[in-house]
Amino acid sequence: MTRIYIKLLLTAIFWGGTFIAGRVIAGHVNPAAAAFLRFVVASVFLVALTLKTEGLPRPMDGHKILALFLLGATGVFAYNLFFFRGLELISAGRASLIIANNPIFIALFSFLFFSEKMTPLKIMGILISVTGAILAISGGNPAALLSGGLGLGDIFILCAVCSWVTYTLIGKRAMNRLSPLAAVTGAAVTGMVMLLIPALISGMAAEIPLYRPVDWAALFYLGFFGTVLGFVWYYDGIKAIGPARAGLFINFVPLSAITLGYLLLDEPVTLSLALGALLVITGVILTNAASVRMLRRPVA
pLDDT number for residue 29? 94
CB within 8 Å of 147: residues ≥ 6 apart: none
pLDDT number for residue 102? 76
Amino acid at 19: F
Instruction: Give the N- to C-terminal CA distance of the chain in Å, as an integer.
Output: 31
> Whole-prediction pTM value?
0.82
pLDDT number for residue 222? 96
Q: How far apart are the C-alpha atoms of 224 and 263, rounded to whole Å? A: 22
Q: How far apart are the C-alpha atoms of 139 and 196, rounded to whole Å? A: 37
pLDDT number for residue 225? 95
pLDDT number for residue 8? 86
Tens-binned pLDDT, residue by residue, of the chain (300 aa)? 788 888 888 998 999 899 999 999 998 999 999 999 999 999 999 999 999 988 877 777 777 888 889 989 998 999 999 999 999 998 888 888 788 777 777 777 777 776 667 778 777 877 787 787 777 767 777 666 555 556 888 899 999 989 988 887 887 776 667 777 888 898 999 999 999 999 999 999 999 999 999 999 999 999 999 999 988 888 778 777 766 567 667 777 888 888 888 889 888 888 878 888 888 778 777 776 655 554 444 433
CB within 8 Å of 180: residues ≥ 6 apart: 235
Q: How far apart are the C-alpha atoms of 300 and 291, rounded to whole Å? A: 17
Note whether 72 and 191 are within 8 A (CB): yes
Identify the DSSP state of 248. G
Q: Is residue 109 exposed (0-12), middle (13-18) or buried (19+ Cβ within 10 Å)?
A: middle
For the chain, how many residues are written? 300
